[in-house]
Chains A and B, each alone.
Chain A
Amino acid sequence: MVAQKSITVAGAGILGLWQAFTLANAGHRVRLVEAAASPFERSSSRWAAAMIAPECESEASPPIVRDMGRAGLEIWRAVYPGLAANGTLVVAAVRDRSELTRFQRVTEGSRLIHAGQLGELEPMLADRFDAALYFPGEAHMNAVDAMSWLLAEVQRLGVEVVFGEPWNGVVPGDAVIDCRGIDARHDLAELRGVRGERIVIEARDVSVSRPVRLLHPRQPIYIVPQGNGRYVLGATVIEREDDGPMTLKSALDLLGSAYAVHPAFAEASIIDMGAGVRPAFPDHVPRIVASDDGRVVRVNGAYRHGFLLAPVLAKEVADMVAHKEQQRQFVHVATA
């Protein structure tokens, strides 16, 4: 039995929610504080497409992110009833066929399928692409639904959740787990923000049931179904620490790519456009940084992989709090 501790989690984005959930489940007394006055208002997590795609993401991520992501996927499967686990499709225009070959070469776990098989999975795409890569093991969800579910769960577990209270830097109780994302940039020297834009559309004439990634030499995009005819189109990657409104160029790129996947997207309604800032370290691998004799633990730098990695990061920190060092598998803990 673990000794009960009194722990504050700062930040109620996907990392903070998972952290509070995991610590509360382990029997600790948890307080979750969030600077924004209402849930998810300032969190970059709400902009996420929430693909749990460790294989596809490994195309441009180091192996540790893939391994953590695989473990993350297992935890999501075991815990979250809203997970849609029907795989990912990766497609490319005929002239960009070489992108498909390259993608398959640098990832694992996919099958090259042809139009007929594609038609069985996604009937609407059969006459659009003559080939696709199918990653059957991957999953996705609606980001805000998942965050709302986690919030309800932590409240049910007795976590005291306080909105409109930024963490003031002091440590009440035994420890503070700092999950503030880019707001922690002044406490983490190498952390930077990477702008990402996305669009939510509602397309009644389109029926796609799993994430579709369109490879393109310049602008790869994804379309992720959110239920109720809604889809997230994302996402740009711009080296700018700026969450201001979407630019015309980015909108053209994202909307144009959706149209390229299927012309039926042309009549979709645009529900929401916007940008978030992803917190990242130079190697795009998240870090757990302990300071103050372990009384302050900062978890940050999940980059594009907040939903993918949050369950694993939360578990690593919980094991650390319980001094079960030997159970930590992945993250090298730095001491500030």
Chain B
Amino acid sequence: MNVRDQALHEADGLSLYGERLASRILLGTAGYPSPAILADAVRASSADIVTVSLRRETAGGRVGERFIELIRGLGVKVLPNTAGCRTARDAITTAMMARELFATDWVKLEVIANDDTLQPDVFGLVEAAETLVREGFKVFPYTTEDLSVAERLQRVGCEVIMPWGSPIGTGRGLVNVAALRTLRAYFPNATLVIDAGIGAPSHASFAMELGYDAVLLNTAVAKAADPARMAAAFAAAVKAGRAAHLAGLMPERDMAVPSTPVVGTPFFDLE
């Protein structure tokens, strides 16, 4: 990193509910071959935040304390999620339990409409978000790219909005780019995070180029043949995409434009 990069990096931290963070990657902790490989991947990604699913682990109030110790031992901020919750009430209960377990008021809110597509239930989402914000939570809602839903979420107190790129675990990248551009343009000051569907570092880079503030990913790293190496690839891609956004991307043009003027160039037909 040269001096200018350093300056850029330092001036360009991410702010989530007032907390300053250096990394623009939020990494999920599900599906890794082992906790040891997860720890390697977290380090390689340079993520400052990991998400942890608790729905199944906390069923009946019993949870593996050594697993919790392992997660705490990663040394990064934990964002518990409500993955697998199908109703607002279910998500609220899970969030409450997670708050106690991890002593955090942050929660990644997922209310899932159906198990096949893992499509967010946006009605339950807004309902749960409203209750949780009232209960003092800082809510990170997993939603679609729908603008009116994002507006509702903001209205009930979500400072961060997390639209999907494509459905969870599909790795298809950003499928509705036009709507994601609109969302970014419509909420210039909100913190927008692409959550779900990121399959390749190029997808993450593209999200950053569009001006999104961060990306949240899991499967692309967890299911890579070498998760730590893939995590490092994502870290580089996110950095590149963010720098490109700040640098200002050139607009696309319909016609070719030579980078060197042709008229008046001596010997331009030498080859």
Question: A-side interface residues toward B, CB under 8 Å?
Answer: 60-62, 102, 105-106, 185, 190-195, 217-218, 238-242, 244, 247, 249, 280, 282-284
Contact = CB atoms under 8 A, between A and B. Distances in A.
Contact of B64 (A60, A102, A241): A241
Contacts of A280: 34
Nearest to A250: B56
A122 to B, nearest CB: 27
B34 A240 contact: no
Contacts of A195: 64
Interface stretch (B11-19, B65-73, B100-108, B153-161): B65-73
Given A105-B225, A240-B57, A242-B62, A192 B33 contact: no
Contacts of B225: 105-106
A282 B32 CA distance: 11
B86 to A, nearest CB: 11
Nearest to A238: B56
Contacts of A217: 169, 219
Q: Is the interface of A mostly helix, strand, loop or mixed?
A: loop
B223 interface: yes
Contact of A102 (B35, B63, B67, B223): B223
Interface of B: 33-37, 39, 56-57, 59-60, 62-67, 70, 169, 219, 223, 225
B223 A241 contact: no
Contacts, number: 62
B64 A193 contact: yes
Nearest to A236: B56
Contacts of B219: 217
A238 B169 contact: no
A286 B62 CA distance: 25
Given A282-B34, A284-B34, A192 B66 contact: yes
A247 B59 contact: yes
Given A62-B33, A106-B225, A283-B36, A240 B62 contact: yes
